[in-house]
């Protein structure tokens, strides 16, 4: 894993967007998987404007949504799908055959997970993953204790995730389970960026870098990835003990 620090979140986000674009230029069939949440919002802004202004061909790009609150539909402004549509799918005009999200309203989550795993396999694996870090070290909805080799799964959310997750919703929401691409897919992905910004992430980032690599700290998985990057702004990097 490589640790890369930028002064600002905007600089970090612009750099990440450039990495995605150069991967796409090298491989026009890029399979890109991204988290929602606050962290990658600026990457999406840069990505959309750079792709459009640079006239980059993204007609073969395929996008995967990393995760979803189980039981929450895409029309809910707090859902992951809603933000994927707002940030990428609609601005880039991606057609239905160019992206896939979990259907979190399905009453058969196991088959949703199989659908995702089969699709990833059929596409030859994920090329580029961009994920955030939860306050408890989760990645996607791979909560503390999740095996590093797990594929897509449904999971009971950690209390911290349930509480922090309220920030995405306009009114109090009963959040219980998440459906997510697993850490096994992350380890198999050709490139992985874990991004974090802000002082509130500084402590979990220090643990990500310095604690033992352990399933009780999902974000530590990035240190096992030979083409993994931890990309931080100054504040998120500020508590890293050298
Ligand atoms: C959301 C997701 C989560 C977030 C994490 C950080 O799709 O996968 O794991 O990346 O909770 O959230 P933010 O970016 O809002 O701090």
Per-residue model confidence as pLDDT tens for the chain (242 residues) = 999 999 999 999 999 999 999 999 999 999 999 999 999 999 999 999 999 999 999 999 999 999 999 999 999 999 999 999 999 999 999 999 999 999 999 999 999 999 999 999 999 999 999 999 999 999 999 999 999 999 999 999 999 999 999 999 999 999 999 999 999 999 999 999 999 999 999 999 999 999 999 999 999 999 999 999 999 999 999 999 97
Contacts of 223 (CB under 8 A, 6+ apart): 1, 208, 209, 213
Q: Ligand 1: distance of its center to the CA of 59 in Å?
A: 27
Q: Can you tell me the distance from the alpha carbon of 15 to that of 231, in angstroms, rounded to the nearest whole number?
A: 9
CB 147 within 8 A of CB 214: no
Nearest CA to ligand 1 atom 10: 132
Beta carbon of 160 within 6 Å of any ligand 1 atom: no
Kindly compute the dihedral angle of the four CA atoms of residues 112, 117, 120, 122, in this order, to the nearest 10 degrees. -100
The pLDDT, as a whole number, for residue 16 is 98
Beta carbon of 35 within 6 Å of any ligand 1 atom: yes
CB 36 within 8 A of CB 65: yes
Nearest CA to ligand 1 atom 9: 140
The two structure tokens encoding residue 5: 């620090």
C-alpha 71: how far from chain center: 19
Report H helices in the chain: 9-26, 41-53, 80-84, 90-92, 109-122, 159-165, 183-188, 202-210
Q: Can you tell me the distance from the alpha carbon of 161 to that of 67, in angstroms, rounded to the nearest whole number?
A: 13
To test the ligand 1 pocket, which listed residue (41, 44, 133) has its Cβ within 8 A of the most ligand atoms? 133
Find tokens 């949504």 and name the residue: 65
Beta bridge partner(s), residue 33 = 64, 129
Q: Ligand 1: distance of its center to the CA of 133 in Å?
A: 6
Length of the chain: 242
Instruction: Identify which of 14, 82, 74 has the alpha carbon closest to the alpha carbon of residue 48.
Output: 14
């Amino acid at each position: 894993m490589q640790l890369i620090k930028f002064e600002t979140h905007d600089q970090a986000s612009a750099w990440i967007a450039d990495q995605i674009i150069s991967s796409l230029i090298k491989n026009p069939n890029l399979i890109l998987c991204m988290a929602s949440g606050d962290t990658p919002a600026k990457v999406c802004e840069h990505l959309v404007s750079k792709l459009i202004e640079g006239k980059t061909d993204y007609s073969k790009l395929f996008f995967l949504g990393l995760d979803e609150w189980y039981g929450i539909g895409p029309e809910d402004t707090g859902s992951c799908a809603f933000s994927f549509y707002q940030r990428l799918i609609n601005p880039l005009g991606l057609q239905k055959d160019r992206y896939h999200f979990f259907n979190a309203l399905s009453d058969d989550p196991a088959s949703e997970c199989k659908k995702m795993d089969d699709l990833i396999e059929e596409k030859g694996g994920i090329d580029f993953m961009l994920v955030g870090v939860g306050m408890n070290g989760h990645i996607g909805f791979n909560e503390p204790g999740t095996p590093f080799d797990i594929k897509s799964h449904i999971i009971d959310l950690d209390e911290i995730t349930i509480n922090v997750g309220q920030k995405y919703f306009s009114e109090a929401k009963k959040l219980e389970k998440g459906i997510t691409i697993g850490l096994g897919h992350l380890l198999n992905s050709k490139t992985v960026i874990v991004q974090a910004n802000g002082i509130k992430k500084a402590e979990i980032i220090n643990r990500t870098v310095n604690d033992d690599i352990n399933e009780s700290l999902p974000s530590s998985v990035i240190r096992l990835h030979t083409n993994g990057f931890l990309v931080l702004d100054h504040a998120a990097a500020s508590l890293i003990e050298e």
